[in-house]
């Protein structure tokens, strides 16, 4: 997948070049513009969608396929301001991506939205993971900037769960309280995730859940 990044890092805009006969799979709502000979259709087959509707955390999850017979351009943008990056899949392993960060991928990448391996751990944070397998590139977005870490075998990285973007399936992970119940309640920290290598981890410098909480704190009270 040939992607040119523009307007980053704060307001990243990805321009995906489609060669003649090319195809790209894009999250519904992420397309900002097309240029040239580009056709769009809703994908209802393959590993990503085996039906018209798939539920993720109570929300409908759709995907659009963009194709071009003679070559064209698809511009994509994320819902929240921040950076974008391309990750590659070229082996038997999987990449686990939080659902809000997946923007687009090559058609040979299978994105399993029904994979439930992360729900047990991350349900308390409302985080759903997509299991991406196959060969090709993925375009991921972040709220804020994206940071990348390559973990050596046995090396540990601890993240506030709301700052997670993606990680290799080879990376072991476990979710726990940031500290004691007292520090969790009074210190403003909730759940954290320990990642142990080997493998890649991507994180975002801002948390969308923190943004939601900040907005809620500024809304007028409905009490009379």
Which are the contacts of 205, defined by CB distance < 8 A and separation ≥ 6? 142, 144, 145, 146, 147, 163
- Residue 129 has a CB neighbour count (10 Å cut-off) of 27
Residue 33 lies in a domain: yes
Q: Residue 86's domain is classified under what CATH number?
A: 3.60.160.10
> Cα–Cα–Cα angle for 29, 104, 157, nearest 5°?
115
Residue 151 lies in a domain: yes
Q: Can you give the residue range of the structural domain that contains 106? A: 2-218
pLDDT in tens, 118-163: 666 676 566 788 899 999 999 999 999 999 999 999 999 999 888 9
Residue 130 lies in a domain: yes
Of 215, 213, 202, 220, the residue nearest 84 (C-alpha): 202
Residue 223 lies in a domain: no
pLDDT at 183 over 60: no
Residue 186 lies in a domain: yes
Please tell me the pTM assigned to this model.
Answer: 0.83
Q: How many domains does the chain have?
A: 1
d(CA 9, CA 29): 20
Give pLDDT, residue 180: 54
* Residue 203: exposure state from Cβ atoms within 10 A (0-12, 13-18, ≥19): buried
Residue 40 lies in a domain: yes
Average pLDDT over residues 88-107: 92
């Amino acid at each position: 997948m040939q992607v040119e990044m523009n307007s980053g890092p704060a307001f990243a805009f990805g321009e995906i070049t489609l060669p003649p006969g090319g195809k790209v799979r894009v999250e519904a709502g992420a397309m900002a513009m097309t240029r040239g000979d580009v056709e769009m259709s809703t994908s209802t087959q393959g590993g990503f969608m085996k039906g018209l509707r798939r539920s993720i955390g109570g929300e409908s999850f759709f995907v659009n396929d963009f194709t071009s017979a003679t070559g064209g351009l698809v511009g994509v943008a994320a819902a929240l301001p921040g950076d974008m990056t391309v990750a590659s899949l070229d082996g038997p392993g999987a990449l686990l991506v939080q659902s809000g960060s997946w923007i687009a991928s090559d058609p040979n990448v299978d994105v399993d939205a029904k994979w439930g391996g992360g729900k047990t751990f991350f349900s308390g944070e409302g985080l759903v993971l997509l299991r991406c397998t196959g060969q090709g590139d993925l375009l991921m977005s972040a709220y804020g900037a994206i940071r990348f870490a390559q973990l050596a075998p046995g090396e540990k990285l601890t993240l506030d769960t709301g700052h997670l973007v993606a990680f290799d399936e080879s990376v072991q992970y476990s979710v726990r309280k940031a500290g004691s119940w007292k520090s969790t309640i009074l210190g403003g920290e909730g759940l954290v995730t320990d990642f142990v290598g080997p493998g890649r981890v991507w994180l975002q410098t801002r948390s969308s859940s923190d943004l939601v909480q900040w907005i809620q704190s500024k809304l007028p009270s409905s009490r009379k």
